Structure 1
Amino acid sequence: MFIGLGTVANVVTVAVGSVIGLLFGSRIPERTRQLITATLGLVTLVLGISSAGSIGSTALAGVVGKGGLLVVIGALLVGGLIGSALRIEQRLEGAADWLRSKIADDEDSGRFVDAVVTPTLLFCVGPLTILGSLSDGLGRGADQLLVKSLLDGFAAIAFAASLGYGVLFSAVLVGVLQGGLTLLAFALGDFLSLAQIDALTATGGVILMALSLRLLQLKQIPVGDMLPALLLAPVIVAGAAALLH
């Protein structure tokens, strides 16, 4: 096998799942499509809660003691301020809307934007994305990404059936992000400690919970603006380690 196999498999399963969803989605009644989206929201909530549990990990506690929650809160607050200042959410939606205007201007704008942005966030923010990409890049195997590929493939079927063909473009973004992380790990080796990965995973879990509220149509949280928190969480842990040890 080769380094990057996991990302290739993930891109293929998302693309194939999207095509399957598009082929059969028109035969699904609207109420069923809404139920599918709500189900994805509930599953995303469960994944988010599970990932957020890394706040209490032994590795993170070994660096920051009982301050794991403070690390996550700090990363989310500062990251949210940065993301809001950079208008990341607005830029993501603008890019998706630009893509819609180039491909099919008659497509419903809001629906197409949701079809691109929402699956991309779900596929790219979860812990398996980070851990799997790093493991693949370090030559430890693509098992985690292969499992993620299967899960994302089924999710892509559901998303495409309920939101439309914009979901196809999330496959490209998955390839760019996961491929980039894999190459980074290949070039730099173990550049994140276990404590940093746990902080990143917990922060990603909270972002997934925010995304689930959007899928459940309970609250339109600008999840894109929260993305800088994923970069800040490991930095805060590294800073805490330097100060406390």
Structure 2
Amino acid sequence: MIGTLVNVGTILIGSLVGHFFKRGLKEAHHEILMQAMGLAVVGLGVGAIATHLPASNYPVLFIVSLAIGGLLGEWTRFEDRFNKLLSFVLKGNTNEGLTTAILLFCVGTLSIVGPIEAALNQNYTYLFSNAILDGVTSIVLASTFGLSIAFSAVILLVWQGSIYLFASFAAVAITADILTEISIIGGVLILSTGLSILGLKKFKTMNLLPAMLVPIVFFAGKALLGL
């Protein structure tokens, strides 16, 4: 959990810095920092895909997973329901900022594979890299949307903590194939988030989240059928 705690700490510090020093950041500074972070997120997504796709024994599975997951997410209106849930607590600009922060901090290869790597292999590289990225991003977001961005650290703690605990208890069931497929899909999702940050295309990334469950169901089905 040390990696997750560091990640939470950088978001809290970044939110405070962005909130109290926002007058020192001009609109041009906001724009260039968000462009920089958007490009960094795109790079992380492309890197994850390029790294894990060649290692996949089922190179079409991630495509099928995204299609099925996207349809499930759209059918359940996952993103709309998520936004409505936040609207009960937050309003307007603040809601938009916190939603963006949660998406950036929680949806992506580093935030998902990181806790799994930490639990299975005691490898904290992904989480520490994610902590640096989230810290810089939280400065930018807090300078625009205010201190409410810090609340995303609580969501991140629950999110990564849950993944870490699940991976610790399910270590035997999480095979290399499952981890590879989840990493590919996570790379695609973080790539879509990066493109959204850059303003090139607005993706419904949260509606694609169910895609990450499809490989687990697929491999569980294979095991039950003895294939």
Q: Give TM-score scaled by structure 2 length.
A: 0.88
Q: CA shift at 1:29, angstroms?
A: 1.4
With over 3 angstroms needed to count, the CA separation of the structure-2 counterparts of 1:192 and 1:54, relative to structure 1, is: farther
Gap runs ≥5 in structure 1 = 102-108
Residue 155 of structure 1 is matched in structure 2 by 137
Gap runs ≥5 in structure 2 = none
Q: CA shift at 1:238, angstroms?
A: 4.9
| 1:29-48 correspondence to structure 2 within 5 Å | 29-48=26-45
Residue 106 of structure 1 is matched in structure 2 by none
2:118 is equivalent to residue 136 of structure 1: yes
- Within 2, Cα distance between the matches of 1:42 and 1:240? 38
Instruction: Let me know the Cα RMSD of the aligned residues.
Output: 2.3
2:14 to 14, 17, 20: 17
1:196/1:238 contact within 8 Å kept? no
Q: Answer with 213-222 or 81-90: which moved more.
A: 213-222
Q: Give TM-score scaled by structure 1 length.
A: 0.82
Q: Answer with 136-145 or 9-18: which moved more.
A: 136-145
2:68 is equivalent to residue 78 of structure 1: yes
Residue type of the alignment partner of 1:9: V
1:75/1:230 contact within 8 Å kept? yes
| 1:159-170 correspondence to structure 2 within 5 Å | 159-170=141-152
2:53/2:184 contact within 8 Å kept? no
| 1:63-74 correspondence to structure 2 within 5 Å | 64=58, 68=59, 70-74=60-64
- Within 2, Cα distance between the matches of 1:185 and 1:19? 32
1:172 to 151, 154, 179: 154
Residue type of the alignment partner of 1:21: G
Residue 91 of structure 1 is matched in structure 2 by 81
**1:102-132 CA deviation, whole Å, 9 max, x = no partner?**
xxxxxxx1x3233212222222222222232
1:34/1:162 contact within 8 Å kept? no
2:25 is equivalent to residue 28 of structure 1: yes
| 1:162-241 correspondence to structure 2 within 5 Å | 162-239=144-221
Residue 51 of structure 1 is matched in structure 2 by 48
- Within 1, Cα distance between the matches of 2:160 and 2:89? 22
**1:29-60 CA deviation, whole Å, 9 max, x = no partner?**
123212222222111111111112245333x2
2:111/2:160 contact within 8 Å kept? yes
1:116 to 70, 74, 98: 98
